[in-house]
Amino acid sequence: MLWLLGLWLPVSCQLDVPSHTNPFDPKWNSTLPFYQIAEYNGLLVVTNRLGLSTTTGFKIENSQKIEISADEQIHVLSKGFYHGVGTPTTSGILSRLSSAGVGVWRTASNLLNCPWGFTVSDQGNYYFIDSIDNTSGGRVFLAGLSASGTNFFLRFGLDNSSVPPPNSVSGPGTCTFDRDGTLLIVDGKDHQIKRFTTNGSWLGTYGTNGYDAGQFGVPMDVAADPAGSGFWVLENRNRRIQHVSSNGLTIEKFGDERPSFAEVLVDPLFFCFYSNQYAFVGDSGIKGVRFCALDGSNIGVWSAVTDPGFVMPVDIAVGPTGKVYFLYERSIKVFTKR
C-alpha cells in the first residue's frame, strides 16, 4: 500500500530476491556457468532384478558413486558397511534410474559386499571393484553384472589369491574404462593404477609411491583422457591431478601443493571431465567443488565455506547431453550449462 493524498493506494511490486544462497541459481549469480534444473530423491522401483522382493517408493541411501550411460540412464552405487570382519551388515546396492529420475531396478541386498567403485561399458554391462571385508587382508574382486541386471557373468579375484604381487590389487579404489576398452583400476594402498582386461587379466601397472612425475600419492580417482591421450589420476596426498600417457609418463599436472602453482587443491577426493577442456573437482578442503580448465585455473569455485547454501556432493558425473549430476547421500541434483 502507498500513502498518497491521505489515502492508502494498492501498489503491485515484486522483489527478485532468492530464497536461499544456492550458487547455481541463475537468480543468485548470473556469472556462474551452471544452474539447477531438477532434483531426484523419491525413486519408484518399476522392475526388480536378481531376486529383489517387490518394493515401491524406495530412496537412494548411503550413495557413493554415480555413472551416466550413453542413453542418459542414471546409475547410483550405494556403499556397504562393516562392523568388524566378515559379512557386511549393509551390502552395496546398484540402482538404475531413468533419465527422468524414476527408479527402474536395483540389485538385491546380498549380491554385492562392500564395493569401492564401478563403471559402465559401452554395451551397458557393469563392472564393480568389490571387497569381502574392509581389513587389509580382505579379498578384492572384479565383478561383472549384465546390462539387464539379471545375472553376474564374472567374479574374478584381483587380490594375490588370483593375481601374483605386485600386480594384484590391494585397494581401496575405483575403476573406469580407457579408450581401448580395458579397465583402469585405482589401487590406493599400493599408490598405483593397474590395467586389466574385462575378464580379469592383468596388462600393466603404473606408478610407485612418491611425489615425482609418474609417481602417485594416495590415488583416489582415475578417468580416461577425453581427447584419447592416456588417462588422468587424482592424488589425494599429493593434492594434484596428473595426466599420464599410456606408457606411464607424465604429460602434465595441476593442483600441485608447491608454491609455483597458483591454484591449490586442498583435499581432492574425486573429479570428472566436462567436455575435453574442463573438469569438476570435489575438494573437501574447501567443502565444495571446483570447475576448472585442464591447466588447473579455476573458472568457478562453489564452497560451503563462502556460501552456507552450498552442500558438497559425494560424486559428480556428466551425461552425454552435457547435463551435470551432483550425487548426494540421499538425492541427485541435475544442472545444465547456461
Kindly state the cell numbers that stand for 233.
589420476
314, three cell numbers: 559425494
Q: Is 124 a domain residue?
A: no
Determine the pLDDT at residue 167. Answer: 86
Is residue 145 within 8 A of residue 126, CB to CB? The reply is: yes
Q: Does the residue 164 lie in any domain?
A: no
Look at residue 42 in the predicted model and tell me its pLDDT: 60
Q: Is 192 part of a structural domain of the chain?
A: no
Strands across the sheet containing 34-40 = 34-40, 332-337, 324-327, 315-318
Give CA angle at 74 (170, 334), nearest 5°.
Answer: 110
CA dist 139 and 161 (Å) reads 8
Q: What is the pLDDT along the chain (338 residues), one digit of tens a residue?
A: 334 333 333 333 332 333 334 444 444 344 457 888 888 876 555 554 554 444 445 567 789 999 999 999 999 998 876 555 555 556 888 888 889 888 888 887 778 888 889 999 988 999 999 887 655 456 788 999 998 877 889 988 888 878 888 888 887 789 999 999 999 999 998 999 999 999 999 999 999 999 998 899 999 999 999 988 899 999 999 999 999 999 999 998 887 655 444 457 899 999 999 988 899 999 999 999 998 888 878 888 888 888 888 899 999 999 999 999 999 988 899 998 87
Residue 216 maps to a domain: no
How far does Cα 154 stand from its chain's mean position?
23
Range of the domain at 93: 20-109+314-338
Task: Using the structure block, give the residue that is written with the C-alpha cell 580448465.
Answer: 293
Inside any domain, residue 94: yes
Domain count, the chain: 1
CA atoms of 134 and 331, how far apart (whole Å): 26
Evaluate whether residue 41 is within a structural domain.
yes
225: three-class secondary structure by DSSP: coil
Q: Return the pLDDT at 171.
A: 77
Is 29 inside a domain boundary? yes
> Residue 187 burial by CB count (10 A; 0-12/13-18/19+): exposed, middle or buried?
buried
| Cα–Cα dist 181/173, whole Å | 19
Strand partners, 145: 126, 152
Residue 334 contacts by C-beta under 8 Å, 6 or more apart in sequence? 36, 37, 38, 39, 40, 101, 323, 324, 325, 326
Question: What's the half-sphere exposure (Cβ side, CA atoms, 13 Å) at 229?
Answer: 8
Residue 93 is assigned to a structural domain of this protein: yes
187 SS3 class: strand
Identity at 51, one-letter amino acid code: G
Within 8 A by CB and 6+ apart from 218, the residues are 188, 191, 235, 236, 237, 238
